[in-house]
Structure 1
Amino acid sequence: MRTAIRQPAGRNFADVDSMLARLLDVMLIALGAALASFALTPHAGLSIFEGAFVAFDMAFAILLLPWFGVYDSWRGRSKWRLATNIVFGWIAVQICGLAMLFLLHRAASVSRLWCVSWTAITAVGLVASRLLVHAVLGRLRRAGGNLRLVAVVGAGAHRDRVIANIVRSPDAGFRAVATFNTRQARECDFPGLPSFGRLREFAEWVRREQIEEVWLALPMSEEDTVLRILDEFSGDLVNLRFIPDVRSLAMFDRNVIDLVGAPAINLMASPMTPYALIQKALFDRLFAAAALLALTPVMLSIAVAVKVTSKGPVLFTQRRKGADGRVFRIYKFRSMREHASRPGVVRQATRGDPRVTRVGAFLRRTSLDELPQFLNVLRGEMSVVGPRPHAIEHDDQYRSIVDGYIHRYRIKPGITGWAQVNGFRGETDRIEKMQARVEHDLYYLRNWSFGLDMRIVFATVVRGLRHRNAY
């Protein structure tokens, strides 16, 4: 049994960094409270109860923020996800602080305006401090500092893709320095990197050069190779990371979950956790209610315009499939003249379609015809952001010929989505167009975050979903 021969460089520094980050967060919480008080009452300062509120939050921050992973290593991980975790962690801290004041019957003694201002200022400060630190680290890493050296195990296209990702992401702080070619007789070595064909020689080089990371870029079928690597480095303090080739798995979830007491990875399941679904549903209802209140004059004007310019009802309804394939009726402002259609056949609108009215053409081009779908959101049938629902006839047509199409049913359909803000909307007269749309929908499912939803909503409002394919 080989004994550990070294302590990984940077572990002690990581502990110090974590302590400094916690201290900085506590200071920012106190500073945010002081700034909010100064902005509202420059000469009054904090009351004794507001000071107690701040003290409670500083203590809760030390206890709760680690649960949100904000002090973990975020090297190579999404900074948007980090910012979201920080904001929700801070909100949880504030809720606990308010609960303490409520239990002490002192909640009424705290200024609500000051509390809201403090919450916003501190949230901005916490996120900005993290982004600033990572920006400084990014510049340092691009200059060749604060790097972790990586030896990659594998062969072929998947290994080359992993190494290329390392090269394209210098801010992440990794540098590929060697490979262990598991198929040397059949696959070429990666150009520019030293390559090994024998495991023992590779392992000795990793120890001699004090390489911190060994990444296994292997198919999941190569269990024997994975076990050999694990056995070889079982006595070394080297980070072994398995990066399986999962290109054929449309809904692979990279997170490990606890399932009846055993670790499990979802190869094909919804990536949305119950907590995420509750968070998304709460946002949907609040946003839809606010949108309907704010847009009531606009929607009434559109309803009048539709009614007086063509015969027929104001709203058009159609059966669509939602989450888990459940059928519901979607609402739209009618944009076409009444016409006869063949049962089971849905004809998509085309450029210059004579069925589309003048008002309808404007509504479709600007997506104002979709506004009644906020009613579907309030009813729980749709989300503000998600894959756009298609006619059931199109679902039946495409689910058997478009890869991954069925996975669009794993969450509620949306009024807008990642595909739409990237230009994939309107007529899908070729399979390639639908495939591209579905690929964007699957990207959204795999990478969902509250921050991504906000980006899509913002892009939708800014662009107005104006696109040449909308007719």
Structure 2
Amino acid sequence: MKAKIRRYSTYINPFFCLIDLFILNLTTLLFQTNIDQNLLFSFYISVLWIVLSIKNEFYDIKRFSKVIHILSSLIRQFLIFALILYAFIGFFKQPNISRWEMGKYFLTTIYAVTFFKFVFLYLLSKYRIFGGNIRKVVVIGDNKKTSQLIKIFKEKPDFGYKFQKKFCVNKPDFDLETCFNFIIENEIDEVYCSIAELSNNQLRDIVNFTENNLKILKFIPDNKDIFTKKMIFNYYEYIPVLSFREIPLDDYINKFIKRTFDVLLSLFVLVGILSWLTPLIALLIQLESKGPVFFKQRRNGLDYKEFYCYKYRSMKPSNSANQATKGDARVTRIGKFIRRTSIDELPQFLNVLKGEMSVVGPRPHMVKHNEEFARNVDKFMVRHFVKPGITGLAQVSGFRGEIETNKDIVNRVKYDIFYVENWSLLLDIKITFLTAINAIKGEEKAY
């Protein structure tokens, strides 16, 4: 058995951490913060930065990590670091510290840490292109997914994977012993296996071989019903337990970040827009048809609990509780405009402020529709693991408005589940921005 060749990878994250600590401490010299105990402050921010980084997995950046995930990690890190920074003033009784200078210090560290992080990541990717920090890989299996993975290895040299060989399990001459000899002789670092093509005995042999020879083993999922889920592996004492998904918004820090975003944006809209828009919309609604300005309807929210969802009334008062369809005679002229521009949804910022909804999340359906979809659409209920939203990933991806075919609701659920499992603040900001753009342009299915 040969020792594992790490090629200095273990030093990359500590190096990034040391650079950040150097920036955090050096930057304090640039501002007149009036800190009485500089050594204490340096120790305080250094220790808590490291603790926070471990908690947030701030330096757990993979060679295949996307830019949006890195930016999300930076935002999360600095939002909490801001609280830590200003807590120093009260905790250590430092009344002479300049809050303004501390704010400038905080912004400077954001710019500096972000800049150097991306510079070093860029240089690291170039280093990999020229043959450094390489991982030699083999693939066991021959199907569409293995071919796609091999294509990524070849077309993305900045990932640092060097594809060596593919072993076709279904060929008559396939032999695991030959495969294992090739892996040892060529000092392969990582082994990728297609689960569907291997028997349980073969999988067991591969697992034993890789563990005994210090090789990294990764599986390529094939079974769409189980293995494409975002499975999480945990231990209860010594018993291994698999769970199908991890929900980012179950984390209390993520909840705090999302709720802060919701409250700040809701206050901005309610005070800055609805305070003057509501009287104008109310007048136009009343001029066309008598009745209430606001319309409320029971919807299902977090954990399937019912709440009243608010809207501006866009239809003539009637006893029908059915959703509006294309060419619906109940929709008024002002109703057509506010529905097309999504203005009718703005009162839902009251729901957000009350904590019943979020700015971004799976759109809530009418209670009777929910009951129907829950019976007929697979995994529909997963949407209710998080608060419903005024807008959502499905809506900005072309699946808003009336459910015309079964494909519409299936695709909507697919996007909603992706959002539930992959939430980030940057994703919320992106969806909010796209929603605003779509509202300005007007949407075809908003009727």
TM-score by length of 2: 0.88
| Equivalent-residue separation in structure 2 for 1:103 and 1:271 (angstroms) | 30
Contact kept in structure 2, 1:8 and 1:238, CA below 8 Å = no
Report the Cα distance in structure 2 between the residues aligned to 1:423 and 1:381, rounded to whole angstroms.
25
The alpha carbon displacement at 1:143 in A equals: 5.7
Structure 1 residues not aligned, in runs of 5+: 38-44, 186-195
2:171 to 171, 181, 184: 184
Matches of 1:77 and 1:325, distance apart in 2: 34
**Residues 259/164 of structure 1: CA separation in 2 closer, same or farther (3 Å cut):** farther
Query: CA separation of 1:277/1:427 partners in 2, compared to 1, >3 Å: closer, same or farther?
Result: same
Question: Partner amino acid for 1:137?
Answer: L
1:372, 1:274 → 2: CA distance? Answer: 28
In the TM superposition, residue 154 of structure 1 has moved relative to its aligned partner by: 3.1
Return closer, same or farther for 1:297/1:256 CA change in 2, 3 Å cut-off: farther
- Which of 281, 285, 300 in structure 2 is aligned with 1:302? 281
Change (3 A) 1:112 1:238: same
1:385 correspondence with 2:373:
no
Q: Which deviations, in whole Å up to 9, do the C-alpha atoms of 1:254-288 show, x marking residues without a partner? A: 44345566443322675642323344334323432
1:228: Cα distance to partner?
A: 0.8
Match of 1:6 in 2: 3
Which range moved further: 245-254 or 83-92? 245-254
Return closer, same or farther for 1:105/1:270 CA change in 2, 3 Å cut-off.
Answer: closer
CA positional deviation for 1:76: 1.4
Map 1:296-335; keep pairs closer than 5 Å. Answer: 296-335=275-314
Taking structure 1 as reference, are residues 171 and 413 closer, same or farther at Cα in structure 2, changes over 3 Å only? farther
Q: Which amino acid aligns with 1:111?
A: S
Contact 2:361–2:389 (8 Å) recurs in 1: yes
Maintained 8 Å contact 1:155/1:218: no
Deviation per CA, 1:430-471, whole angstroms, max 9, x where unpaired?
Answer: 222222222211221221112211221222234436322212
Query: Is the partner of 1:49 in helix, strand or coil?
Result: coil
Pairing 1:131-142 to 2, within 5 Å after superposition: 131-142=118-129
**How much does 1:139 deviate?**
4.2
Report Cα offsets for 1:54-80 as digits up to 9, x if no partner: 553234334442332233342113332
Contact 1:213–1:239, Cα closer than 8 Å, also in 2: yes
1:249–1:268 contact (8 Å) kept in structure 2: no
Q: 1:366 to 1:134 in 2, by over 3 A?
A: same
Change (3 A) 1:131 1:155: same
Contact map agreement 2:399 2:408 (CA 8 A) in 1: yes
For the 8 Å contact 2:4–2:215, the answer to whether it is kept is no
Is residue 158–residue 218 contact of structure 1 (8 Å, CA) maintained in 2? Answer: no
The structure 1 residue matched to 2:135, chosen from 148, 155, 164, is 148
Corresponding position of 1:288: 266
CA contact (8 A) 2:140 2:194 kept: yes
Q: Does 1:211 align with 2:211?
A: no
Give the whole-Å Cα distance in 1 for the aligned partners of 2:142 and 2:363: 39
User: Over residues 195-253 of structure 1, what are the superposed CA-to-partner deviations in whole Å (9 max), with x where a residue is unaligned?
Assistant: x7111111111111111111223149954332210222333121122343352249833
Q: Give the alignment of 1:408-447 within 5 angstroms.
A: 408-447=383-422
Q: 1:200 matched to which residue of 2?
A: 177
| Alignment partners' CA distance in 2, 1:329 and 1:414 | 13
Whole-Å separation in 2 of the counterparts to 1:299 and 1:316: 13
> Match of 2:146, as an amino acid?
R
CA contact (8 A) 2:323 2:402 kept: no
Check whether the contact 1:251–1:407 (CA below 8 A) recurs between aligned residues: no
Name the stretch that deviates more: 271-280 or 291-300.
Answer: 271-280
Q: How does 1:96-107 map to 2 (within 5 A)?
A: 96-106=84-94
Cα distance, 1:226–1:250 mapped onto 2, change above 3 Å: closer
Q: In the alignment, what sits opposite 2:17?
A: 22
Counterpart Cα distance in 2 of 1:305 and 1:379: 27
Give the paired residue count: 443
Q: Deviation of residue 332 (structure 1)?
A: 0.4
Are 2:83 and 1:88 equivalent residues in the alignment?
A: no
Supply the distance in 2 between the matched residues of 1:362 and 1:269 (Cα, whole angstroms). 40
SS in 2 for 1:76: coil
Number of the residue aligned with 1:468: 444
> Quick one: distance in 2 between partners of 1:165 and 1:396?
42
Q: Does 1:455 align with 2:430?
A: yes
Three-state SS of the structure 2 residue aligned to 1:374 is helix
Structure 1 stretch displaced more, 130-139 or 384-393:
130-139
Displacement of 1:137 in angstroms is: 3.3
1:226 aligns with 2:203: yes
Give RMSD over aligned pairs: 2.9
Deviation at 1:386, TM superposition (A): 0.4
Mapping of 1:60-99 within 5 angstroms?
A: 60-99=48-87
1:41 match: none
* Cα distance in structure 1, aligned partners of 2:393 and 2:376: 22
Offset from partner CA, 1:60-113 (integer Å, 9 cap, x none)? 33444233223334211333233333333344444334434423211x222222
Aligned match for 1:252, one of 204, 229, 249: 229
Asked if 2 retains the 8 angstrom alpha-carbon contact of 1:141 and 1:173, the reply is yes
Contact 2:222-2:228 at 8 Å conserved across structures: no
**In structure 1, distance between residues paired with 2:423 and 2:199:** 30
Structure 1 CA distance for aligned equivalents of residues 169 and 290 of structure 2: 70
User: Structure 1 residue 390: deviation in Å?
Assistant: 1.6
Amino acid paired to 2:334: V
Q: Is the Cα–Cα contact under 8 Å of residues 232 and 246 in structure 2 kept in the other structure?
A: no
Q: Alignment partner of 1:127: what SS?
A: helix
Q: 1:111 corresponds to which residue?
A: 98
Could you list the per-position Cα deviations for residues 323-370 of structure 1 after superposition, in whole angstroms to 9, with x for gaps in the alignment? 2221211100001112232xxx624321x3322111111111111110
Matching residue's letter, 1:68? N
CA 315–50 in structure 1, closer or farther in 2 if over 3 Å, else same: farther
- Matched position secondary structure for 1:330: strand
Q: Which one-letter code corresponds to 2:244 in the other structure?
A: L
Partner-residue secondary structure (3-state), 1:331: strand
Asked if 1 retains the 8 angstrom alpha-carbon contact of 2:246 and 2:421, the reply is no
Shift in Å at residue 119 of structure 1? 1.9
Give the 3 Å change call, closer, same or farther, for CA 261–116 of structure 1 in structure 2.
Answer: farther
